[in-house]
Chains A and B, each alone.
Chain A
Amino acid sequence: MSELLNVSHISAAYGGIRALRDVSLTIGEGEIVSVLGANGAGKSTLLKCLSREMRITEGEIRFAGRPLAAKPYAVVESGMVIVPEGRQIFTKLTVRENLMIGCCQRRDKEGIAKDEERVYTLFPRLLERRDQYGGLLSGGEQQMLAIARGLMARPKLMMLDEPSLGLAPIIVSQILDILKDINSGGTTILLVEQNARKALSISDRVYLMNVGSIIREGPAEAFRNDDSLVNAYLGG
Protein backbone atom coordinates (compact mmCIF):
# COMPACT_ATOMS: atom_id res chain seq x y z
CA MET A 1 0.00 0.00 0.00
CA SER A 2 1.49 3.31 -1.01
CA GLU A 3 1.45 6.33 1.20
CA LEU A 4 -1.00 9.10 0.31
CA LEU A 5 -0.62 11.59 3.15
CA ASN A 6 2.41 12.05 5.32
CA VAL A 7 2.29 14.53 8.17
CA SER A 8 5.58 14.80 9.95
CA HIS A 9 6.19 16.63 13.20
CA ILE A 10 3.82 19.55 12.67
CA SER A 11 2.95 22.14 15.30
CA ALA A 12 0.44 24.98 15.19
CA ALA A 13 -0.72 27.72 17.52
CA TYR A 14 -3.61 30.15 18.03
CA GLY A 15 -1.85 33.36 18.93
CA GLY A 16 0.55 32.24 21.63
CA ILE A 17 -1.36 29.12 22.57
CA ARG A 18 -0.01 25.93 21.08
CA ALA A 19 -2.82 23.81 19.73
CA LEU A 20 -0.79 21.10 18.00
CA ARG A 21 2.50 19.74 19.25
CA ASP A 22 4.75 17.57 17.11
CA VAL A 23 1.98 15.65 15.38
CA SER A 24 2.91 12.94 12.88
CA LEU A 25 0.63 10.61 10.99
CA THR A 26 0.45 8.76 7.72
CA ILE A 27 -2.47 7.59 5.65
CA GLY A 28 -2.11 4.90 3.01
CA GLU A 29 -4.03 4.90 -0.23
CA GLY A 30 -7.44 3.29 0.21
CA GLU A 31 -7.47 3.35 4.00
CA ILE A 32 -10.05 4.64 6.41
CA VAL A 33 -8.15 6.31 9.22
CA SER A 34 -9.78 7.87 12.26
CA VAL A 35 -8.41 10.55 14.49
CA LEU A 36 -10.19 10.28 17.81
CA GLY A 37 -10.07 12.42 20.88
CA ALA A 38 -12.15 14.38 23.32
CA ASN A 39 -13.28 17.95 22.78
CA GLY A 40 -10.26 20.26 22.57
CA ALA A 41 -7.78 17.52 21.72
CA GLY A 42 -6.68 19.35 18.58
CA LYS A 43 -8.52 17.26 15.99
CA SER A 44 -10.18 20.14 14.20
CA THR A 45 -6.97 22.16 14.35
CA LEU A 46 -5.21 19.28 12.62
CA LEU A 47 -7.79 19.40 9.82
CA LYS A 48 -7.44 23.18 9.55
CA CYS A 49 -3.71 22.69 9.01
CA LEU A 50 -4.33 19.97 6.43
CA SER A 51 -6.73 22.20 4.47
CA ARG A 52 -4.21 25.05 4.78
CA GLU A 53 -6.72 27.23 6.48
CA MET A 54 -4.28 27.53 9.37
CA ARG A 55 -0.52 27.98 9.22
CA ILE A 56 1.78 25.34 10.68
CA THR A 57 4.72 26.66 12.65
CA GLU A 58 6.88 23.56 12.32
CA GLY A 59 7.00 20.33 10.37
CA GLU A 60 6.04 19.22 6.89
CA ILE A 61 3.00 17.84 5.13
CA ARG A 62 3.36 15.73 2.00
CA PHE A 63 0.46 14.60 -0.16
CA ALA A 64 0.69 12.07 -2.99
CA GLY A 65 4.47 12.22 -2.92
CA ARG A 66 4.77 16.02 -3.05
CA PRO A 67 4.82 18.82 -0.51
CA LEU A 68 1.22 19.87 0.13
CA ALA A 69 0.13 22.98 -1.79
CA ALA A 70 0.16 26.18 0.26
CA LYS A 71 -3.26 27.69 -0.57
CA PRO A 72 -6.63 26.19 0.34
CA TYR A 73 -7.87 26.15 -3.27
CA ALA A 74 -4.66 24.47 -4.44
CA VAL A 75 -5.07 21.79 -1.77
CA VAL A 76 -8.52 21.04 -3.15
CA GLU A 77 -7.15 21.02 -6.66
CA SER A 78 -4.50 18.48 -5.67
CA GLY A 79 -7.21 16.08 -4.51
CA MET A 80 -7.72 16.67 -0.80
CA VAL A 81 -11.11 17.87 0.29
CA ILE A 82 -12.71 18.63 3.64
CA VAL A 83 -16.27 18.04 4.79
CA PRO A 84 -16.34 20.68 7.50
CA GLU A 85 -17.66 20.44 11.02
CA GLY A 86 -21.29 21.42 11.32
CA ARG A 87 -21.83 20.69 7.58
CA GLN A 88 -21.52 24.36 6.57
CA ILE A 89 -24.09 24.12 3.83
CA PHE A 90 -24.63 27.24 1.74
CA THR A 91 -28.11 27.92 3.02
CA LYS A 92 -29.00 30.43 0.31
CA LEU A 93 -27.85 28.24 -2.56
CA THR A 94 -29.85 25.33 -3.92
CA VAL A 95 -28.75 21.75 -3.35
CA ARG A 96 -27.47 21.56 -6.90
CA GLU A 97 -25.59 24.86 -6.55
CA ASN A 98 -24.00 23.55 -3.37
CA LEU A 99 -22.76 20.56 -5.34
CA MET A 100 -21.42 22.83 -8.06
CA ILE A 101 -19.31 24.70 -5.52
CA GLY A 102 -17.83 21.34 -4.58
CA CYS A 103 -16.44 20.98 -8.09
CA CYS A 104 -15.55 24.65 -8.56
CA GLN A 105 -11.99 23.69 -9.51
CA ARG A 106 -13.00 21.34 -12.27
CA ARG A 107 -13.60 22.11 -15.92
CA ASP A 108 -14.50 18.67 -17.29
CA LYS A 109 -18.22 19.06 -17.90
CA GLU A 110 -18.87 15.41 -18.68
CA GLY A 111 -16.98 14.21 -15.62
CA ILE A 112 -18.93 16.64 -13.46
CA ALA A 113 -22.25 15.45 -14.88
CA LYS A 114 -21.24 11.85 -14.19
CA ASP A 115 -20.23 12.60 -10.62
CA GLU A 116 -23.45 14.51 -10.06
CA GLU A 117 -25.40 11.43 -11.13
CA ARG A 118 -23.22 9.30 -8.87
CA VAL A 119 -23.93 11.38 -5.77
CA TYR A 120 -27.66 11.28 -6.54
CA THR A 121 -27.44 7.48 -6.61
CA LEU A 122 -25.63 7.53 -3.28
CA PHE A 123 -28.06 10.04 -1.80
CA PRO A 124 -31.43 9.81 -3.55
CA ARG A 125 -32.87 12.41 -1.13
CA LEU A 126 -30.64 15.03 -2.70
CA LEU A 127 -32.09 14.38 -6.13
CA GLU A 128 -35.59 14.92 -4.75
CA ARG A 129 -34.48 18.21 -3.22
CA ARG A 130 -32.18 19.29 -6.00
CA ASP A 131 -33.71 22.73 -6.54
CA GLN A 132 -34.47 23.57 -2.92
CA TYR A 133 -32.35 25.86 -0.82
CA GLY A 134 -29.73 24.13 1.32
CA GLY A 135 -31.10 25.87 4.40
CA LEU A 136 -34.36 23.93 4.10
CA LEU A 137 -32.76 20.50 4.51
CA SER A 138 -32.83 18.53 7.76
CA GLY A 139 -29.60 17.95 9.70
CA GLY A 140 -29.09 14.48 8.24
CA GLU A 141 -29.78 15.68 4.72
CA GLN A 142 -27.36 18.55 5.22
CA GLN A 143 -24.66 16.10 6.26
CA MET A 144 -25.39 14.05 3.16
CA LEU A 145 -25.16 17.18 1.05
CA ALA A 146 -21.86 18.12 2.68
CA ILE A 147 -20.42 14.71 1.85
CA ALA A 148 -21.84 14.80 -1.67
CA ARG A 149 -20.39 18.28 -2.15
CA GLY A 150 -16.99 16.95 -1.11
CA LEU A 151 -17.29 14.05 -3.53
CA MET A 152 -17.92 16.44 -6.41
CA ALA A 153 -14.27 17.46 -6.21
CA ARG A 154 -13.47 13.82 -7.05
CA PRO A 155 -10.97 13.72 -4.17
CA LYS A 156 -8.23 11.20 -3.53
CA LEU A 157 -8.55 11.96 0.17
CA MET A 158 -11.74 13.05 1.86
CA MET A 159 -11.42 14.46 5.38
CA LEU A 160 -14.56 14.57 7.51
CA ASP A 161 -14.80 16.67 10.64
CA GLU A 162 -17.32 15.19 13.11
CA PRO A 163 -19.88 13.97 10.58
CA SER A 164 -21.95 12.37 13.37
CA LEU A 165 -22.36 15.58 15.34
CA GLY A 166 -25.95 16.22 16.33
CA LEU A 167 -27.43 13.41 14.26
CA ALA A 168 -29.70 10.58 15.36
CA PRO A 169 -27.86 7.23 15.77
CA ILE A 170 -29.72 5.63 12.87
CA ILE A 171 -28.67 8.45 10.52
CA VAL A 172 -25.08 8.19 11.78
CA SER A 173 -25.04 4.48 10.91
CA GLN A 174 -26.42 5.26 7.45
CA ILE A 175 -23.76 7.86 6.87
CA LEU A 176 -20.97 5.57 8.01
CA ASP A 177 -22.24 2.87 5.64
CA ILE A 178 -22.11 5.33 2.81
CA LEU A 179 -18.57 6.33 3.80
CA LYS A 180 -17.59 2.66 3.54
CA ASP A 181 -19.13 2.54 0.06
CA ILE A 182 -17.26 5.66 -0.96
CA ASN A 183 -14.07 4.15 0.40
CA SER A 184 -14.51 0.92 -1.53
CA GLY A 185 -14.89 3.09 -4.62
CA GLY A 186 -11.26 4.09 -4.12
CA THR A 187 -11.46 7.28 -2.02
CA THR A 188 -9.20 7.37 1.02
CA ILE A 189 -10.92 8.67 4.13
CA LEU A 190 -9.72 10.56 7.17
CA LEU A 191 -12.40 10.65 9.81
CA VAL A 192 -12.18 12.97 12.78
CA GLU A 193 -14.64 12.00 15.50
CA GLN A 194 -15.63 12.23 19.11
CA ASN A 195 -18.08 9.41 18.61
CA ALA A 196 -15.40 6.75 19.04
CA ARG A 197 -17.32 3.50 18.88
CA LYS A 198 -19.08 4.40 15.67
CA ALA A 199 -15.87 5.56 14.03
CA LEU A 200 -13.95 2.48 15.18
CA SER A 201 -16.51 0.24 13.52
CA ILE A 202 -15.50 1.31 10.02
CA SER A 203 -11.84 2.32 10.48
CA ASP A 204 -8.69 0.45 9.47
CA ARG A 205 -6.35 2.40 11.71
CA VAL A 206 -6.74 4.91 14.50
CA TYR A 207 -4.84 7.78 16.02
CA LEU A 208 -5.76 8.97 19.48
CA MET A 209 -5.20 12.61 20.33
CA ASN A 210 -5.06 14.39 23.65
CA VAL A 211 -4.20 18.06 24.31
CA GLY A 212 -2.59 18.67 20.95
CA SER A 213 -0.53 15.52 20.66
CA ILE A 214 -0.95 12.02 19.35
CA ILE A 215 -0.75 9.70 22.31
CA ARG A 216 -1.53 6.36 20.77
CA GLU A 217 -1.90 4.77 17.36
CA GLY A 218 -2.67 1.37 15.99
CA PRO A 219 -5.07 -0.81 14.07
CA ALA A 220 -8.74 -0.28 14.87
CA GLU A 221 -9.21 -3.78 16.36
CA ALA A 222 -6.72 -3.02 19.11
CA PHE A 223 -8.88 -0.08 20.16
CA ARG A 224 -12.13 -1.94 19.75
CA ASN A 225 -10.92 -4.56 22.21
CA ASP A 226 -9.56 -2.11 24.71
CA ASP A 227 -12.50 -0.73 26.61
CA SER A 228 -10.35 1.03 29.17
CA LEU A 229 -8.78 3.14 26.45
CA VAL A 230 -12.07 4.12 24.94
CA ASN A 231 -13.53 4.95 28.31
CA ALA A 232 -10.53 6.94 29.48
CA TYR A 233 -10.19 9.24 26.49
CA LEU A 234 -13.23 9.01 24.37
CA GLY A 235 -16.49 7.98 25.83
CA GLY A 236 -19.33 7.07 23.55
Chain B
Amino acid sequence: MKILLQQLVIGISIGSIYALIASGYALVYSLLDFSNWAHGEVCMLGAYCCFMAVKVAQFPFWLSCVLGVGGAVAVSLFNERFTYRRIRSNGSPNMFLMIAAMGLSTTYQNLATVIWGGKFKQMPKVFSKSSLNVGGVFIGTTDLLCLALTVIVLVILLLIINKTRFGLHVRAVACAGRTAGILGVRIDRVIALVFMLAGALAGLAGILYGMKYNVYPTMGNVGLKAFIASVIGGLGSVPGAIVGAVLLGLIETVASGYISSGLRDLISFSLLILILLVRPAGLMGVDVQDKA
Protein backbone atom coordinates (compact mmCIF):
# COMPACT_ATOMS: atom_id res chain seq x y z
CA MET B 1 0.00 0.00 0.00
CA LYS B 2 2.80 2.36 0.93
CA ILE B 3 4.57 1.60 -2.31
CA LEU B 4 1.44 2.42 -4.27
CA LEU B 5 0.98 5.71 -2.42
CA GLN B 6 4.63 6.51 -3.06
CA GLN B 7 4.14 5.87 -6.76
CA LEU B 8 1.02 8.00 -6.82
CA VAL B 9 2.90 10.93 -5.29
CA ILE B 10 5.64 10.69 -7.89
CA GLY B 11 3.04 10.22 -10.62
CA ILE B 12 1.16 13.35 -9.70
CA SER B 13 4.39 15.29 -9.55
CA ILE B 14 5.53 14.28 -13.05
CA GLY B 15 1.94 14.63 -14.24
CA SER B 16 1.95 18.22 -13.09
CA ILE B 17 4.94 18.97 -15.33
CA TYR B 18 3.15 17.30 -18.22
CA ALA B 19 0.13 19.44 -17.39
CA LEU B 20 2.09 22.67 -17.74
CA ILE B 21 3.32 21.68 -21.17
CA ALA B 22 0.05 20.08 -22.29
CA SER B 23 -2.04 23.12 -21.45
CA GLY B 24 0.16 25.29 -23.69
CA TYR B 25 -0.17 22.67 -26.38
CA ALA B 26 -3.93 22.68 -26.02
CA LEU B 27 -4.15 26.49 -26.12
CA VAL B 28 -2.25 26.72 -29.39
CA TYR B 29 -4.18 23.80 -30.81
CA SER B 30 -7.50 25.38 -29.92
CA LEU B 31 -6.65 28.55 -31.86
CA LEU B 32 -4.76 27.21 -34.85
CA ASP B 33 -5.80 23.55 -35.14
CA PHE B 34 -2.30 22.24 -35.39
CA SER B 35 0.03 20.35 -33.07
CA ASN B 36 2.94 22.55 -32.17
CA TRP B 37 5.72 19.97 -32.18
CA ALA B 38 8.32 22.61 -31.29
CA HIS B 39 6.66 23.17 -27.93
CA GLY B 40 8.89 20.63 -26.14
CA GLU B 41 11.98 22.44 -27.42
CA VAL B 42 10.63 25.67 -25.92
CA CYS B 43 10.79 23.83 -22.56
CA MET B 44 14.31 22.71 -23.28
CA LEU B 45 15.54 26.17 -24.24
CA GLY B 46 13.85 27.66 -21.17
CA ALA B 47 15.70 25.14 -19.00
CA TYR B 48 19.03 25.98 -20.68
CA CYS B 49 18.43 29.72 -20.22
CA CYS B 50 17.86 29.15 -16.52
CA PHE B 51 20.89 26.87 -16.30
CA MET B 52 23.15 29.42 -18.04
CA ALA B 53 21.92 32.22 -15.84
CA VAL B 54 22.49 30.39 -12.61
CA LYS B 55 25.65 28.41 -13.45
CA VAL B 56 27.54 30.65 -15.87
CA ALA B 57 26.33 34.15 -15.03
CA GLN B 58 26.01 33.19 -11.35
CA PHE B 59 22.70 35.00 -10.95
CA PRO B 60 20.54 34.18 -7.95
CA PHE B 61 18.26 31.21 -8.57
CA TRP B 62 14.96 33.09 -8.53
CA LEU B 63 16.27 35.55 -11.13
CA SER B 64 17.55 32.67 -13.25
CA CYS B 65 14.09 31.11 -13.19
CA VAL B 66 12.58 34.39 -14.37
CA LEU B 67 15.17 34.53 -17.16
CA GLY B 68 14.50 30.91 -18.08
CA VAL B 69 10.77 31.56 -18.36
CA GLY B 70 11.53 34.77 -20.25
CA GLY B 71 13.77 32.91 -22.68
CA ALA B 72 11.04 30.35 -23.35
CA VAL B 73 8.51 33.13 -23.95
CA ALA B 74 10.90 34.74 -26.44
CA VAL B 75 11.48 31.48 -28.34
CA SER B 76 7.78 30.69 -28.45
CA LEU B 77 6.95 34.18 -29.72
CA PHE B 78 9.77 33.96 -32.25
CA ASN B 79 8.35 30.71 -33.64
CA GLU B 80 4.93 32.27 -34.05
CA ARG B 81 6.05 35.62 -35.36
CA PHE B 82 8.60 34.45 -37.92
CA THR B 83 7.38 31.01 -38.90
CA TYR B 84 3.76 30.19 -38.16
CA ARG B 85 2.34 33.63 -38.88
CA ARG B 86 4.07 33.73 -42.25
CA ILE B 87 2.74 30.34 -43.17
CA ARG B 88 -0.76 31.43 -42.16
CA SER B 89 -0.60 34.64 -44.14
CA ASN B 90 0.43 32.64 -47.20
CA GLY B 91 -2.84 30.80 -46.82
CA SER B 92 -1.10 27.41 -46.67
CA PRO B 93 -2.86 24.37 -45.21
CA ASN B 94 -2.47 23.57 -41.51
CA MET B 95 -0.30 20.58 -42.36
CA PHE B 96 2.44 23.08 -43.27
CA LEU B 97 2.35 24.50 -39.76
CA MET B 98 2.86 21.08 -38.25
CA ILE B 99 5.71 20.25 -40.59
CA ALA B 100 7.38 23.60 -39.93
CA ALA B 101 7.04 22.90 -36.21
CA MET B 102 8.77 19.53 -36.66
CA GLY B 103 11.56 21.33 -38.48
CA LEU B 104 11.92 23.85 -35.70
CA SER B 105 11.96 21.07 -33.13
CA THR B 106 14.86 19.24 -34.76
CA THR B 107 16.68 22.50 -35.45
CA TYR B 108 16.54 23.54 -31.81
CA GLN B 109 17.64 20.10 -30.59
CA ASN B 110 20.67 20.17 -32.83
CA LEU B 111 21.42 23.79 -32.05
CA ALA B 112 21.41 22.97 -28.35
CA THR B 113 23.79 20.07 -28.95
CA VAL B 114 26.15 22.35 -30.89
CA ILE B 115 26.10 25.08 -28.25
CA TRP B 116 26.04 23.11 -25.02
CA GLY B 117 27.10 19.62 -26.06
CA GLY B 118 25.12 16.46 -25.51
CA LYS B 119 26.06 15.97 -21.85
CA PHE B 120 23.60 16.20 -18.99
CA LYS B 121 23.79 19.48 -17.12
CA GLN B 122 22.85 19.57 -13.50
CA MET B 123 20.73 22.30 -12.08
CA PRO B 124 21.98 23.57 -8.73
CA LYS B 125 20.73 21.78 -5.67
CA VAL B 126 18.57 24.64 -4.50
CA PHE B 127 16.18 22.45 -2.67
CA SER B 128 17.80 19.88 -0.57
CA LYS B 129 17.15 16.32 -1.56
CA SER B 130 15.35 16.07 1.74
CA SER B 131 11.83 14.79 1.77
CA LEU B 132 8.86 14.94 4.03
CA ASN B 133 7.84 11.71 5.66
CA VAL B 134 4.06 11.53 5.69
CA GLY B 135 3.10 8.31 7.40
CA GLY B 136 5.86 6.37 5.72
CA VAL B 137 5.36 7.94 2.30
CA PHE B 138 8.28 10.12 1.28
CA ILE B 139 7.45 13.28 -0.59
CA GLY B 140 10.48 15.00 -2.14
CA THR B 141 10.76 18.74 -1.67
CA THR B 142 11.17 19.23 -5.41
CA ASP B 143 8.08 17.13 -6.10
CA LEU B 144 6.11 19.14 -3.62
CA LEU B 145 7.32 22.39 -5.16
CA CYS B 146 6.43 21.14 -8.66
CA LEU B 147 2.96 20.31 -7.58
CA ALA B 148 2.31 23.50 -5.64
CA LEU B 149 3.65 25.77 -8.40
CA THR B 150 1.75 23.93 -11.09
CA VAL B 151 -1.53 24.10 -9.23
CA ILE B 152 -1.13 27.85 -8.68
CA VAL B 153 -0.07 28.54 -12.26
CA LEU B 154 -2.82 26.42 -13.81
CA VAL B 155 -5.51 27.98 -11.62
CA ILE B 156 -4.31 31.40 -12.78
CA LEU B 157 -4.34 30.16 -16.40
CA LEU B 158 -7.92 28.91 -16.13
CA LEU B 159 -8.98 32.19 -14.53
CA ILE B 160 -7.35 34.15 -17.35
CA ILE B 161 -9.14 32.08 -19.98
CA ASN B 162 -12.55 32.09 -18.35
CA LYS B 163 -12.74 35.42 -16.57
CA THR B 164 -10.76 38.05 -18.44
CA ARG B 165 -11.36 40.07 -21.56
CA PHE B 166 -8.26 38.56 -23.16
CA GLY B 167 -9.52 35.07 -22.30
CA LEU B 168 -12.87 35.84 -23.93
CA HIS B 169 -11.05 36.87 -27.09
CA VAL B 170 -9.04 33.64 -27.00
CA ARG B 171 -12.22 31.58 -26.69
CA ALA B 172 -13.89 33.56 -29.48
CA VAL B 173 -10.97 33.00 -31.84
CA ALA B 174 -10.92 29.31 -30.89
CA CYS B 175 -14.64 29.05 -31.62
CA ALA B 176 -14.69 30.96 -34.96
CA GLY B 177 -11.53 32.79 -35.89
CA ARG B 178 -12.77 34.45 -39.06
CA THR B 179 -15.85 35.87 -37.39
CA ALA B 180 -13.88 37.13 -34.42
CA GLY B 181 -11.61 38.93 -36.87
CA ILE B 182 -14.32 40.78 -38.74
CA LEU B 183 -15.95 41.76 -35.46
CA GLY B 184 -12.81 43.56 -34.40
CA VAL B 185 -10.77 41.03 -32.40
CA ARG B 186 -7.09 41.53 -33.21
CA ILE B 187 -6.42 37.94 -34.09
CA ASP B 188 -2.67 38.09 -34.67
CA ARG B 189 -2.21 39.82 -31.35
CA VAL B 190 -4.35 37.25 -29.52
CA ILE B 191 -2.36 34.43 -31.13
CA ALA B 192 0.98 36.06 -30.26
CA LEU B 193 -0.09 36.48 -26.64
CA VAL B 194 -1.22 32.87 -26.48
CA PHE B 195 2.16 31.72 -27.77
CA MET B 196 3.82 33.83 -25.08
CA LEU B 197 1.57 32.35 -22.43
CA ALA B 198 2.22 28.82 -23.68
CA GLY B 199 5.95 29.65 -23.77
CA ALA B 200 5.91 30.78 -20.15
CA LEU B 201 4.19 27.57 -19.04
CA ALA B 202 6.67 25.53 -21.08
CA GLY B 203 9.63 27.44 -19.65
CA LEU B 204 8.47 26.80 -16.12
CA ALA B 205 7.95 23.13 -16.96
CA GLY B 206 11.44 22.94 -18.45
CA ILE B 207 13.03 24.38 -15.33
CA LEU B 208 11.09 22.03 -13.04
CA TYR B 209 11.91 19.05 -15.23
CA GLY B 210 15.57 20.10 -15.25
CA MET B 211 15.56 20.30 -11.47
CA LYS B 212 13.92 16.91 -11.14
CA TYR B 213 16.18 15.21 -13.67
CA ASN B 214 18.78 17.07 -15.75
CA VAL B 215 19.07 19.55 -18.59
CA TYR B 216 19.98 18.02 -21.97
CA PRO B 217 19.28 18.71 -25.67
CA THR B 218 16.63 16.03 -26.16
CA MET B 219 14.71 16.75 -22.96
CA GLY B 220 12.13 18.43 -25.20
CA ASN B 221 10.86 14.95 -25.97
CA VAL B 222 8.83 15.37 -22.82
CA GLY B 223 6.67 17.45 -25.16
CA LEU B 224 5.54 14.19 -26.77
CA LYS B 225 4.21 13.07 -23.42
CA ALA B 226 2.34 16.33 -23.13
CA PHE B 227 0.94 15.69 -26.58
CA ILE B 228 -0.29 12.26 -25.48
CA ALA B 229 -1.79 13.90 -22.41
CA SER B 230 -3.73 16.39 -24.48
CA VAL B 231 -4.97 13.64 -26.80
CA ILE B 232 -6.21 11.74 -23.74
CA GLY B 233 -7.94 14.86 -22.48
CA GLY B 234 -9.20 15.92 -25.91
CA LEU B 235 -7.10 18.07 -28.23
CA GLY B 236 -7.73 21.77 -27.81
CA SER B 237 -9.26 21.54 -24.36
CA VAL B 238 -7.15 23.06 -21.58
CA PRO B 239 -8.96 21.38 -18.66
CA GLY B 240 -8.82 18.14 -20.67
CA ALA B 241 -5.08 18.54 -21.12
CA ILE B 242 -4.60 19.00 -17.38
CA VAL B 243 -6.67 15.93 -16.49
CA GLY B 244 -4.98 13.89 -19.22
CA ALA B 245 -1.54 14.94 -18.00
CA VAL B 246 -2.11 13.91 -14.40
CA LEU B 247 -3.66 10.65 -15.56
CA LEU B 248 -0.70 9.91 -17.81
CA GLY B 249 1.77 10.73 -15.03
CA LEU B 250 -0.02 8.31 -12.73
CA ILE B 251 -0.27 5.52 -15.30
CA GLU B 252 3.42 5.87 -16.18
CA THR B 253 4.76 5.77 -12.64
CA VAL B 254 2.48 3.01 -11.48
CA ALA B 255 3.43 0.99 -14.55
CA SER B 256 7.14 1.56 -14.06
CA GLY B 257 6.83 0.82 -10.37
CA TYR B 258 4.91 -2.43 -10.70
CA ILE B 259 5.95 -3.73 -14.09
CA SER B 260 9.17 -2.22 -15.38
CA SER B 261 10.42 1.30 -15.97
CA GLY B 262 11.65 0.13 -19.36
CA LEU B 263 8.03 -0.28 -20.42
CA ARG B 264 7.04 3.26 -19.49
CA ASP B 265 7.16 4.78 -22.98
CA LEU B 266 5.75 1.64 -24.55
CA ILE B 267 2.70 1.99 -22.35
CA SER B 268 2.29 5.75 -22.93
CA PHE B 269 2.46 5.51 -26.68
CA SER B 270 0.22 2.44 -26.83
CA LEU B 271 -2.27 4.45 -24.82
CA LEU B 272 -2.03 7.23 -27.42
CA ILE B 273 -2.93 4.84 -30.22
CA LEU B 274 -5.66 3.21 -28.17
CA ILE B 275 -7.30 6.56 -27.44
CA LEU B 276 -7.13 7.59 -31.08
CA LEU B 277 -8.81 4.31 -32.03
CA VAL B 278 -11.44 4.11 -29.33
CA ARG B 279 -12.21 7.65 -28.29
CA PRO B 280 -10.60 10.11 -30.72
CA ALA B 281 -12.31 13.12 -29.11
CA GLY B 282 -10.55 12.34 -25.84
CA LEU B 283 -12.13 12.73 -22.43
CA MET B 284 -13.23 16.33 -22.89
CA GLY B 285 -12.66 17.21 -26.53
CA VAL B 286 -15.47 18.09 -28.85
CA ASP B 287 -14.41 18.10 -32.46
CA VAL B 288 -12.29 15.40 -34.01
CA GLN B 289 -11.95 16.94 -37.44
CA ASP B 290 -8.63 17.66 -39.11
CA LYS B 291 -6.20 16.84 -36.38
CA ALA B 292 -2.90 17.86 -37.92
Residues of A whose CB lies within 8 Å of any CB of B are 51, 53, 72-73, 76-77, 81-82, 84, 88, 90-93, 97, 100-102, 104-105, 149-150, 153
Contact = CB atoms under 8 A, between A and B. Distances in A.
B101 to A, nearest CB: 26
Contacts of A90: 171-172, 175-176, 179-180
Interface in B162-188: 165, 168-169, 171-172, 174-176, 178-186
B176 A105 contact: no
Q: Is the interface of B mostly helix, strand, loop or mixed?
A: helix
Interface residues of B, number: 17
A81 B168 CA distance: 19
Given A84-B179, A88-B179, A90-B179, A72 B184 contact: yes
30 contacts: A53-B181, A72-B181, A73-B185, A73-B186, A76-B183, A77-B184, A82-B182, A82-B183, A84-B179, A88-B176, A90-B172, A90-B175, A90-B176, A90-B179, A91-B175, A92-B175, A93-B168, A93-B172, A97-B171, A100-B168, A101-B168, A101-B180, A101-B183, A101-B185, A104-B183, A104-B184, A104-B185, A105-B184, A150-B183, A153-B184
Contact of B172 (A81, A82, A84, A101): A101
Contacts of A93: 168, 171-172, 175
Contacts of A97: 168, 171-172
A76 B185 CA distance: 9
A81 B179 CA distance: 12
A130 B212 CA distance: 47
Contact of A84 (B168, B175, B182, B185): B182
A92 B162 CA distance: 12
A73 B181 contact: yes
Which of B171, B180, B183 counts the most chain A CB atoms within 10 A? Answer: B183
Contacts of B182: 51, 53, 72, 76, 82, 84
A100 to B, nearest CB: 6
B236 to A, nearest CB: 11
Nearest to B180: A101
A230 B165 CA distance: 46
A103 B181 CA distance: 13
Contacts of A82: 182-183
Which of B169, B180, B182 counts the most chain A CB atoms within 10 A? Answer: B182
Nearest to A105: B184
Nearest to B286: A92
A198 to B, nearest CB: 24
Which of A51, A90, A153 counts the most chain B CB atoms within 10 A? Answer: A90
A190 to B, nearest CB: 14
Interface in B12-71: none
Given A72-B184, A73-B186, A101-B169, 10 more contacts: A53-B182, A72-B181, A77-B184, A82-B183, A84-B182, A91-B176, A92-B171, A93-B175, A104-B165, A104-B183
A53 B186 CA distance: 13
A82 B186 CA distance: 16
Which of B171, B179, B181 counts the most chain A CB atoms within 10 A? Answer: B179
Closest 7 pairs (CB-CB, A-B): A76-B184, A88-B179, A90-B175, A105-B184, A92-B175, A73-B184, A73-B186
Given A88-B176, A90-B176, A149 B183 contact: yes
Contacts of A77: 184
B31 to A, nearest CB: 13
B50 to A, nearest CB: 36
Nearest to A86: B179
B240 to A, nearest CB: 14
B43 to A, nearest CB: 29
A8 to B, nearest CB: 23
Contacts of B183: 76, 81-82, 101-102, 104, 149-150, 153
Contacts of B169: 101, 104
A90 B179 CA distance: 8
A16 B175 CA distance: 31
